[in-house]
Protein backbone atom coordinates (compact mmCIF):
# COMPACT_ATOMS: atom_id res chain seq x y z
CA UNK A 1 0.00 0.00 0.00
CA UNK A 2 1.27 3.44 -0.94
CA UNK A 3 2.23 5.59 2.04
CA UNK A 4 0.26 8.81 2.30
CA UNK A 5 2.65 11.67 2.83
CA UNK A 6 2.67 15.44 3.20
CA UNK A 7 5.75 17.50 2.38
CA UNK A 8 6.39 20.66 4.42
CA UNK A 9 8.36 23.54 2.90
CA UNK A 10 9.14 27.16 3.69
CA UNK A 11 10.83 28.38 0.52
CA UNK A 12 12.49 27.25 -2.69
CA UNK A 13 11.37 23.63 -2.54
CA UNK A 14 14.14 21.97 -4.53
CA UNK A 15 14.16 18.90 -2.26
CA UNK A 16 10.38 18.74 -2.51
CA UNK A 17 10.62 18.87 -6.30
CA UNK A 18 13.11 15.99 -6.35
CA UNK A 19 10.77 13.91 -4.17
CA UNK A 20 7.77 14.76 -6.37
CA UNK A 21 9.69 13.68 -9.48
CA UNK A 22 10.70 10.42 -7.82
CA UNK A 23 7.10 9.81 -6.75
CA UNK A 24 5.88 10.47 -10.29
CA UNK A 25 8.35 8.38 -12.22
CA UNK A 26 11.38 7.46 -10.13
CA UNK A 27 12.30 5.30 -7.16
CA UNK A 28 9.26 6.39 -5.10
CA UNK A 29 6.76 5.46 -7.79
CA UNK A 30 4.22 2.93 -6.44
CA UNK A 31 5.66 3.69 -3.00
CA UNK A 32 4.07 6.89 -1.75
CA UNK A 33 1.38 9.34 -2.63
CA UNK A 34 2.04 13.02 -1.95
CA UNK A 35 -1.40 14.07 -0.77
CA UNK A 36 -0.40 17.56 0.33
CA UNK A 37 2.37 20.13 0.17
CA UNK A 38 2.17 22.50 3.11
CA UNK A 39 3.99 25.77 3.73
CA UNK A 40 4.13 28.15 6.67
CA UNK A 41 4.86 30.96 4.21
CA UNK A 42 2.36 31.91 1.54
CA UNK A 43 5.04 33.21 -0.85
CA UNK A 44 7.14 30.00 -0.70
CA UNK A 45 8.31 29.37 -4.27
CA UNK A 46 7.89 25.65 -3.89
CA UNK A 47 4.09 25.99 -3.55
CA UNK A 48 3.80 26.99 -7.20
CA UNK A 49 5.98 24.05 -8.25
CA UNK A 50 3.75 21.64 -6.30
CA UNK A 51 0.64 23.18 -7.85
CA UNK A 52 2.09 22.73 -11.34
CA UNK A 53 2.49 19.04 -10.55
CA UNK A 54 -1.20 18.88 -9.63
CA UNK A 55 -0.57 18.37 -5.93
CA UNK A 56 -2.90 19.90 -3.37
CA UNK A 57 -1.28 22.77 -1.48
CA UNK A 58 -2.09 24.45 1.83
CA UNK A 59 -0.62 27.27 3.84
CA UNK A 60 -0.99 28.61 7.33
CA UNK A 61 1.10 31.74 7.77
CA UNK A 62 3.18 31.24 10.91
CA UNK A 63 4.49 34.76 11.31
CA UNK A 64 3.38 36.33 14.57
CA UNK A 65 1.66 33.18 15.81
CA UNK A 66 2.45 31.44 19.07
CA UNK A 67 4.16 28.15 18.34
CA UNK A 68 1.52 25.99 20.03
CA UNK A 69 -1.39 27.87 18.44
CA UNK A 70 0.09 27.41 14.97
CA UNK A 71 0.79 23.74 15.65
CA UNK A 72 -2.75 23.09 16.91
CA UNK A 73 -4.16 24.69 13.75
CA UNK A 74 -1.86 22.55 11.65
CA UNK A 75 -2.82 19.32 13.43
CA UNK A 76 -6.45 20.15 12.68
CA UNK A 77 -5.74 20.92 9.03
CA UNK A 78 -3.87 17.63 8.52
CA UNK A 79 -6.30 15.38 10.35
CA UNK A 80 -8.53 14.52 7.33
CA UNK A 81 -5.53 13.52 5.20
CA UNK A 82 -4.79 10.37 7.23
CA UNK A 83 -1.05 10.77 6.79
CA UNK A 84 1.44 7.99 7.25
CA UNK A 85 4.46 10.31 7.16
CA UNK A 86 5.35 13.99 7.16
CA UNK A 87 8.45 14.88 5.18
CA UNK A 88 10.17 18.16 6.06
CA UNK A 89 12.07 19.61 3.11
CA UNK A 90 13.46 23.02 3.99
CA UNK A 91 10.72 23.61 6.55
CA UNK A 92 12.22 26.36 8.67
CA UNK A 93 9.97 26.32 11.69
CA UNK A 94 10.46 24.40 14.90
CA UNK A 95 7.58 22.05 15.66
CA UNK A 96 6.43 21.96 19.27
CA UNK A 97 5.54 18.83 21.28
CA UNK A 98 1.88 19.58 20.43
CA UNK A 99 2.67 18.60 16.86
CA UNK A 100 5.50 16.10 17.31
CA UNK A 101 3.47 13.98 19.75
CA UNK A 102 0.66 13.71 17.20
CA UNK A 103 3.02 12.01 14.73
CA UNK A 104 5.60 10.09 16.78
CA UNK A 105 8.38 8.65 14.55
CA UNK A 106 6.38 9.80 11.54
CA UNK A 107 8.12 13.12 10.87
CA UNK A 108 11.31 13.00 8.83
CA UNK A 109 13.75 15.84 8.17
CA UNK A 110 16.80 16.46 6.01
CA UNK A 111 19.56 18.53 7.59
CA UNK A 112 22.53 19.74 5.57
CA UNK A 113 25.13 18.80 8.20
CA UNK A 114 25.89 16.14 10.77
CA UNK A 115 23.23 16.85 13.42
CA UNK A 116 25.72 15.78 16.11
CA UNK A 117 27.99 18.64 15.05
CA UNK A 118 25.69 21.43 13.94
CA UNK A 119 22.03 22.18 14.61
CA UNK A 120 19.83 24.97 13.29
CA UNK A 121 19.98 27.07 10.14
CA UNK A 122 22.77 27.97 7.67
CA UNK A 123 24.65 24.71 7.97
CA UNK A 124 26.39 25.18 4.61
CA UNK A 125 27.62 28.60 5.73
CA UNK A 126 28.97 26.97 8.87
CA UNK A 127 30.79 24.28 6.85
CA UNK A 128 32.17 26.87 4.42
CA UNK A 129 33.39 29.26 7.12
CA UNK A 130 35.07 26.40 8.98
CA UNK A 131 36.79 25.39 5.75
CA UNK A 132 35.61 21.81 6.11
CA UNK A 133 36.79 19.30 3.53
CA UNK A 134 33.54 17.38 3.81
CA UNK A 135 30.15 17.65 5.43
CA UNK A 136 27.51 15.06 6.18
CA UNK A 137 23.91 15.35 5.07
CA UNK A 138 21.66 13.82 7.73
CA UNK A 139 18.16 12.42 7.41
CA UNK A 140 16.56 11.94 10.80
CA UNK A 141 13.30 11.48 12.64
CA UNK A 142 12.04 14.63 14.30
CA UNK A 143 11.73 14.59 18.07
CA UNK A 144 10.94 17.38 20.49
CA UNK A 145 14.40 18.99 20.24
CA UNK A 146 16.00 20.97 17.41
CA UNK A 147 17.82 18.56 15.08
CA UNK A 148 18.22 16.03 17.89
CA UNK A 149 16.05 13.14 16.66
CA UNK A 150 17.29 9.63 15.81
CA UNK A 151 19.51 9.59 12.73
CA UNK A 152 18.20 7.40 9.91
CA UNK A 153 21.08 7.80 7.46
CA UNK A 154 23.95 10.10 6.56
CA UNK A 155 25.76 10.84 3.32
CA UNK A 156 29.14 12.54 2.95
CA UNK A 157 29.63 15.49 0.62
CA UNK A 158 33.15 16.19 -0.62
CA UNK A 159 33.92 19.90 -0.20
CA UNK A 160 37.57 19.90 -1.18
CA UNK A 161 38.34 22.86 -3.41
CA UNK A 162 34.90 24.41 -2.89
CA UNK A 163 35.92 28.04 -2.60
CA UNK A 164 32.58 29.79 -2.30
CA UNK A 165 29.43 29.29 -0.27
CA UNK A 166 27.52 28.89 -3.56
CA UNK A 167 29.78 25.99 -4.54
CA UNK A 168 29.37 24.34 -1.11
CA UNK A 169 25.57 24.64 -1.41
CA UNK A 170 25.57 23.40 -4.98
CA UNK A 171 27.51 20.27 -4.08
CA UNK A 172 25.39 19.66 -0.98
CA UNK A 173 22.03 20.10 -2.70
CA UNK A 174 23.05 17.76 -5.50
CA UNK A 175 23.57 15.06 -2.87
CA UNK A 176 20.42 15.98 -0.92
CA UNK A 177 18.20 15.63 -3.98
CA UNK A 178 19.23 12.01 -4.59
CA UNK A 179 19.83 10.94 -1.03
CA UNK A 180 16.52 12.05 0.49
CA UNK A 181 14.37 9.92 -1.84
CA UNK A 182 16.68 6.95 -1.40
CA UNK A 183 16.31 7.12 2.39
CA UNK A 184 12.54 7.66 2.14
CA UNK A 185 12.29 4.54 0.00
CA UNK A 186 13.90 2.60 2.85
CA UNK A 187 11.77 4.19 5.55
CA UNK A 188 8.56 3.60 3.63
CA UNK A 189 9.71 -0.02 3.08
CA UNK A 190 9.02 0.13 -0.64
CA UNK A 191 11.42 -2.61 -1.65
C1 LIG B 1 18.10 22.39 2.16
O2 LIG B 1 19.50 22.52 2.06
C3 LIG B 1 17.72 21.67 3.45
O4 LIG B 1 18.57 20.62 3.80
C5 LIG B 1 17.83 22.79 4.44
O6 LIG B 1 17.26 23.90 3.78
C7 LIG B 1 17.47 23.77 2.38
C8 LIG B 1 16.13 23.88 1.69
O9 LIG B 1 16.25 23.93 0.30
N10 LIG B 1 17.18 22.48 5.67
C11 LIG B 1 17.60 22.93 6.86
O12 LIG B 1 18.55 23.68 7.00
C13 LIG B 1 16.80 22.44 8.05
N14 LIG B 1 17.47 22.73 9.27
P15 LIG B 1 15.05 23.56 -0.65
O16 LIG B 1 13.85 24.41 -0.18
O17 LIG B 1 15.49 23.98 -2.01
O18 LIG B 1 14.78 22.10 -0.51
Q: What is the pLDDT of residues 8-23, one digit of tens each?
A: 999 999 999 999 999 9
CATH topology assigned to domain 3-187: Rossmann fold (3.40.50)
Q: Please write the tens of the pLDDT for every residue from 34-87.
A: 999 999 999 999 999 999 999 999 999 999 999 999 999 999 999 999 999 999
- The residue ranges of every structural domain in the chain are 3-187
In tens, the pLDDT along 77-117 reads 999 999 999 999 999 999 999 999 999 999 999 999 999 99
Catalytic residues: 111
Residues touching ligand 1 (Cβ under 6 Å) are 9, 11-15, 89-90, 110-112, 121, 123, 173, 176
pLDDT of the residue at 105: 95
Three-class secondary structure assignment of the chain: CCEEEEEEECCCCHHHHHHHHHHHHCCCCCCEEEEEEEECCCCCHHHHHHHHCCCCEEECCCCCCCHHHHHHHHHHHHHHHCCCEEEECCCCCCCCHHHHCCCCCCEEEEECCCCCCCCCCCHHHHHHHCCCCEEEEEEEECCCCCCCCCEEEEEEEECCCCCCHHHHHHHHHHHHHHHHHHHHHHHCCCC
Report, as an integer, the average pLDDT of 142-167: 97
Residue with the nearest Cα to atom 2 of ligand 1? 112
Nearest CA to ligand 1 atom 7: 90
Q: Distance, CA 27 to ligand 1 centroid (Å)? A: 21
Nearest protein Cα to ligand 1, atom 8: 90
Amino acid sequence: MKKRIAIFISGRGSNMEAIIENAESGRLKDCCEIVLVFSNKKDARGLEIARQHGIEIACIESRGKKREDFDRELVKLLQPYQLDYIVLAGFMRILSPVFVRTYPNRIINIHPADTAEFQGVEAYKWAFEKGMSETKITVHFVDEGVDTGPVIAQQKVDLTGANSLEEVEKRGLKVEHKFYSKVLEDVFKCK
